[in-house]
Amino acid sequence: MHGKATQGQAGTSSRFGTKGPRVVIIGSGVSGILAGVKLLERGWRDFVVLEKAETLGGTWRDNVYPGVACDVPAHVYVYSFAPNPAWKTRYAKGPDIWRYYHDVAKRHGVLDHIEYGKNVVHAGFDGVRWTVQTADGSNYEADVVIGAPGRLRDPKMPDIPGMDSFAGPSFHTARWDTSVSIKGKRVCLIGAGSSGVQILSAVARDVAQITQFQRTPQWVMPVADEAVPWWKRLLFRLRPSVLRRTYRQMLDFSNERGALAFESKQARAARDKMCSDALLRIRDPELRAKLTPDYDVGCKRLVMSETWFEEVQRPNVSIVTEAIERIEPTGVRTKDGVLHECDVLIYATGFDAHAYIRPMRLTGEDGITLDQVWADLPLTYRSVSIPHMPNFFMLNGPSSPGGSASIIGIVETQWDYIAQLLDRIAADGVLIAPREESAKAWLETVRERARNSVWSTGGCQSWYLDHTGTPAYDAVSLPQLQASLAAPVMDDFEVRAISTQ
């Protein structure tokens, strides 16, 4: 079968009651909330969202460091069904983004379905249904499981000798200790990616000294954060359909510029020039040399900031490029023997970008485990489904696009595809899993595309690359993703009736 299944309604199969199939959603971040809203929209009310933390969210709950903001334009970083005319600036701050997602979850009735403190450790399939187990010993039966645990989720701590010996407060950016004030303090900041740049830009003027340990310089794209004037916000409220759509399209276009760099030489050249020209704002040639990357723009994920170019030149900011030897009680000692003293030590060292749904364990049909299916690589079909794992779907799973589009657009596109499979499940009471050979063929196509992308050819190391050195992300733009996920090719799936014998 090729083409859209019919739009499903609750109870289309006699297998399921009027509330639709029983669904477990894992995670209450932007993907999990989306899944909840969409299930309710289709009348599937029998679902639970399992959230391991005590409050809703993922990225925007966990990242509360000073200056945390989203570098995707705010009007794009929203669900298509819930535009927000109230954004006051072009780029939204972390706490405002969290409030937006909380508000959507509340308005759409998803909050009532969330259970907190539920860390999923295993999901097992018995031939008919899934049983999802949480660390506290609870079990949840499900006809369908949606994995939405997020991708840049688990902080990656470096392995530096003496880390435990530091006498002052020390923490990762995604585990910010809000009880610690860094005002007037001497701060050591390890890492110079998006988080490190945002923190330095936000705190440099408030701290006594900030020493940033930069192993590799990053390309920084100067993007100004403009206020959205009151009359525009009013206009958006008064003319919701036309004006919001127009604005959204405009921002979608600018957001896609990054993706165009995959395809268009001119777009890439313009972007490269913007980044290299911006470095000329660094007045001290020695500092500029330290901050100038020797790899292609876009090889690592671009950092976006306007303020960084000035903040990094403050007299109380030091950029240390000497390698770190060890951490000592009073600071960070580099290999040249210098001890960089500080009161607070911050690890802006990024995330384990390749765990996906692990460390959660999966046992699928015939006892086949996720570890077996993913022994070589995280094998999925179109990022949303896994061979031997029937009626288990993922949002923002392995080999999803990265760095090229708003994650919201990506997960909405993936949801629309999954929804067509859910329609089939509901209508015919079937189990659907991708064929292993289809998944392998698809993954090879994605990896080939990624090998030809700047992530691979650009001459850098980054979290895009997996243990084989191949980018684990699909180098496609949002429109390309939308085209490829328009309708499931059902021949690529094994579809079988649920047998209750």
Closest residue by Cα to residue 395 from 369, 379, 377, 416:
416
**Whole-number minimum distance, CB 349 to ligand N01, in Å?**
4
Q: Is residue 194 part of the contact set for ligand N01 (CB under 6 A)?
A: yes
Q: How far is the CB of 196 from ligand N01 (least distance, A)?
A: 5
Q: How far is the CB of 287 from ligand N01 (least distance, A)?
A: 17
- CA angle, corner 465, sides to 463 and 470, nearest 5? 170
Residue 123 or 353 having the CB closest to ligand N01: 353
Choice between 138 and 461, CB closer to ligand N01: 461
| CA proximity to 185, closest of 154, 209, 202, 162 | 209
User: Considering beta carbons, is residue 257 or 435 the nearer one to ligand N01?
Assistant: 257
**Judged by CB under 6 A, which of 216, 313, 321, 330 binds ligand N01?**
216
String of contacts with ligand N01 for each residue 339-358, x by CB under 6 A:
---------xxxx-------
> Residue 477: which of 398, 395, 406, 383 has the closest Cα?
406
Nearer to ligand N01, 64 or 490 (CB): 64
Q: Please report, for residues 67, 155, 252, 254, 409, the alpha-carbon distance to residue 405 in angstroms, rounded to integers and kept in the order given.
A: 22, 23, 9, 10, 7
Cβ closest to ligand N01, residue 194 vs residue 391: 194
Q: Which of 28, 31, 134, 195 binds ligand N01 (CB under 6 A)?
A: 195
Cα–Cα distance, 228 to 92 (Å, whole number): 11
* φ, ψ for residue 426, nearest 5 deg: -70, -40
* Residue among 164 and 376 whose Cβ is closer to ligand N01: 164
> In the set 4, 43, 71, 232, which binds ligand N01 (CB under 6 A)?
71
Among 463, 474, 476, 477, binds ligand N01 (CB under 6 A): 463
Work out which of 190, 221, 411, 478 binds ligand N01, going by CB under 6 A. 190
The answer to whether the CB of 248 falls within 8 A of the CB of 76 is yes
Hey, which residues between 281 and 340 contact ligand N01 (CB under 6 A)? 301, 324
- Binding piece for ligand N01, criterion CB under 6 A, among 32-40, 209-217, 371-379, 490-498: 209-217
**Shortest distance (Å) from residue 364 CB to ligand N01:** 30
Helical (H) or strand (E) element with 434: strand 430-434
Closest distance of CB 16 from ligand N01, Å: 39
Give how far Cα 62 sits from Cα of 178, 196, 353, Å.
11, 15, 15
Residue 94 interacts with ligand N01 (CB under 6 A): yes or no: no
| Residue count, binding to ligand N01 (CB under 6 A) | 26
**Is residue 152 within the footprint of ligand N01 (CB under 6 A)?**
yes
**Which run of H or of E encompasses 352?**
strand 351-352
Task: State the minimum distance, in angstroms, from the CB of residue 297 to ligand N01.
Answer: 14
CA distances from 317 to 193, 201, 344, 345 (A): 16, 10, 15, 15
Name 183's Cβ contacts closer than 8 Å, sequence gap at least 6. 206, 207
Residue 72 CB, shortest distance to ligand N01, in Å, is 6
Binding residue (CB under 6 A) for ligand N01 from 19, 90, 215, 358 = 215
| Among the listed residues 20, 27, 193, 434, the single contact to ligand N01 using CB under 6 A | 193
Q: Chain centroid to CA 240: how far?
A: 28
Q: What are phi and psi of 477, to 5 degrees?
A: -85, 170
Please give the C-alpha separations between residue 42 and each of 6, 11, 28, 222, in angstroms, as whole numbers: 12, 11, 19, 42
Q: Which helix (H) or strand (E) holds 318?
A: strand 317-320
Is 196 an interacting residue with respect to ligand N01 (CB under 6 A)?
yes
- Least Å from the CB of residue 461 to ligand N01: 6
Question: Which residues are CB-contacts of 290 (< 8 A; sequence separation ≥ 6)?
Answer: 214, 217, 319, 321
Q: Where does this chain bind ligand N01 (CB under 6 A)?
A: 69-71, 152, 158, 160, 173, 190-196, 198, 213, 215-216, 301, 324, 348-351, 461, 463
